[in-house]
Structure 1
């Protein structure tokens, strides 16, 4: 046999050769009592190469001679990040900007879209019902009961808040109560003091009250303390050196005593010298039963007749 005939026979054998994975499986022998089952179409297995977007070479007999078959170069696998179809949800939609989300929310809230309640909004609580208005007799009794237990003057605004009544009714009612006490001749009276209202004993019964309250255990202010307190009351705000100059003696210790008892307090410094300024306190007005320092009696009736001669003598 010549070489050309041998090559033709080898080419024919190669063309007729079937790979083992393409050969049909031999049918299993069927039992004698049962008919042979009908052949089912083989399920197509997923082709990994076709899923990745490539093309599988056509199957069939190899027509080229064995000596002339060249190895096919593998096709490049497509980039899964850029060319894979249907790779999942679009990342650009997942990582959308906050402005786009707000715009989408505005579209949803537009007429015809689904209504959404704004976050953080709470239901409006109903307003409390106003307190019932007291009649004059009940309001009068409530005011008298409160004034009997207070330990310092109480303002009309506080009384109105406690009783839940209009402040415009409190003032006239207190004036009416004070006038009634005076007309009835009670041993106490209701008057304004330190910006508020409080019950006080009448001055004509002060002797009996002192005898009951003091009973020999009173702690009185000294003459120096009374003089210093009077100077501060009429000259306030005043410095310590000014008080000492008026009295003619050093008043440092006396002023410290008055401050410790709450009758005098500091109220800033003098702009020129930087010395501390002193004034009377609310307790001072409360103890004297005054509403303000303007209610202090004038000094002219208490001055001596020869005050000008005494002033010239001290110069």
Structure 2
């Protein structure tokens, strides 16, 4: 075969080559009756195939083969990728999804199921409703009921918090209750003591109360304890050495007794010597029915007339 005939044969083959995407789809059954067999390739008519230009047969063949290979690879990759229409069908429709969520929320609302709100739009918990304000009669009764069961003086602020009422109403109402008891001549009275309020028996009925409560059961403080307690009450805060210097005797044991009874307590140390300081307690004010130590009676009427001479003699 001559070189010209070889060129014509290669040009015919290149012109007769059909890309894979243009090839006819095989039928379910081949003409021979075997399912899945490929039909015989169609051979184009040589008269219809245009002749390749001389001198460019090899180049044309290479370009055709390369183009066919590249397009064939592209077609294969395109066959593996999902169709954009199919990808759009797989994605949920935002409108349909929103409608479904709205329908689910409506069903939960009917069934009584609480729905979750977004974090940015979540509502704060509602503030508790304020307590209703009591009228004067109800407030008076509530205060009297509490004061009957307390075992120590209770402050106005505590009463206001318990009753959930303004503190400015508690003080005037307590004063009114105390004035009412005094005007009615009851055997008890309401008065301030140790920074709070408490019911007490009236002094004129003290002998009857003492006969009922303390008959055969009274525990009295000794004379030394009473003297020491008086020094602490009028000189507080005071050290034990100062108390002993005033009384002229050692008072360590008496101080321990008063501390154990809850009438005296430690309240720090003296900066110079480091000795413990002592003062009276709230129980002391409660037992004496005093609101503060400033209500203690003055000492001047109880001092002897020659107190200055006695002070000079002891120096």
The bucket for the TM-score relative to the shorter chain is: 0.5 to 0.7
Mark the runs of 5 or more structure 2 residues left unpaired by the alignment: 10-29, 43-61, 66-116
Partner residue in 1 for 2:221: 221
Instruction: Using structure 1 for the length normalisation, give the TM-score.
Output: 0.64
- Change beyond 3 A, Cα 1:282–1:120: farther
Give the match for residue 128 of structure 2: 128
Q: Distance in 1 between matches of 2:159 and 2:31?
A: 111
In structure 2, relative to structure 1, the CA distance for the partners of 1:31 and 1:123 (3 Å cut) is: closer
User: Cα distance, 1:274 vs. partner?
Assistant: 1.1
Paired residues for 1:24-103 under 5 Å: 31=32, 38-39=39-40
Deviation of 1:39 (Å): 3.8
Sort the Cα spacing of 1:129 and 1:311 in 2 relative to 1 into closer, same or farther, 3 A.
Answer: same
Per-residue CA deviations over 1:283-309 (Å, capped at 9, x if unaligned) read 111111100000000001111122122
Residues 37 and 283 (structure 1), Cα distance of their counterparts in 2 relative to 1, 3 Å cut: closer
In the alignment, which residue of structure 1 is the partner of 2:144? Answer: 144
Residues 31 and 39, structure 2, Cα contact 8 Å, conserved in 1: no
- RMSD (Å), alpha carbons: 3.5
- Name 2:49's counterpart in structure 1: none
Question: Structure 1 residues 121 and 222 mapped into 2: Cα distance closer, same or farther (>3 Å)?
Answer: farther
CA contact (8 A) 2:228 2:243 kept: yes
Structure 2 residue aligned with 1:92: none
- Counterpart of 1:235? 235
- The alignment's TM-score, normalised by the length of structure 2, stands at 0.64
Alpha-carbon separation, structure 2, partners of 1:249 and 1:264: 19
The aligned residue for residue 191 of structure 2 is: 191
Distance 1:314 1:255 in 2: 24
1:311 aligns with 2:305: no
- Deviation at residue 37 of structure 1 after TM alignment: 7.0
Q: Distance in 2 between matches of 1:31 and 1:227?
A: 136
- Relative distance call for 1:40 and 1:207 in structure 2 (3 A) is farther
* Distance (whole Å) between structure 2 residues aligned to residue 294 and residue 40 of structure 1: 126
Residue of structure 2 equivalent to 1:277: 277
Question: Residue in 1 aligned with 2:294?
Answer: 294
Q: Which runs of 5+ in 1 are unaligned?
A: 1-7, 17-28, 42-56, 61-116
Whole-Å separation in 2 of the counterparts to 1:218 and 1:33: 126
The number of residue pairs the alignment matches comes to 231
Q: 1:58 to 1:163 in 2, by over 3 A?
A: same
Cα distance in structure 2, aligned partners of 1:146 and 1:33: 106
Q: Output the CA distance in 2 between the equivalents of 1:32 and 1:252.
A: 127
CA gap 1:304/1:123 in 2 versus in 1, 3 angstroms: same
CA shift for structure 1 position 310? 1.9
Distance in 2 separating the partners of 1:122 and 1:254: 66
**What CA deviation, in whole Å up to 9, does each residue of 1:170-215 have, x standing for no partner?**
1111001001111111111000011110001111111111111112
Distance 1:32 1:198 in 2: 116
Secondary structure in structure 2 of the residue aligned to 1:277:
strand
Report the equivalent of 2:13: none
Shift in Å, 1:230: 0.4
Residues 37 and 312 of structure 1: CA distance in aligned 2, closer, same or farther (over 3 Å): closer
Choose 229-238 or 268-277, whichever is displaced more: 268-277
| Compared CA separation, residues 173 and 38, structure 1 to 2 (3 A) | same
Q: Counterpart in 1 of 2:168?
A: 168
2:84 matched to which residue of 1?
Answer: none
1:272 to 1:137, Cα distance in 2 relative to 1, 3 A:
same
Instruction: Give, in angstroms, the shift of residue 272 of structure 1.
Output: 1.1
Which aligned runs of 4 or more in structure 1 are off by greater than 3 angstroms?
29-34, 36-41, 57-60, 117-122
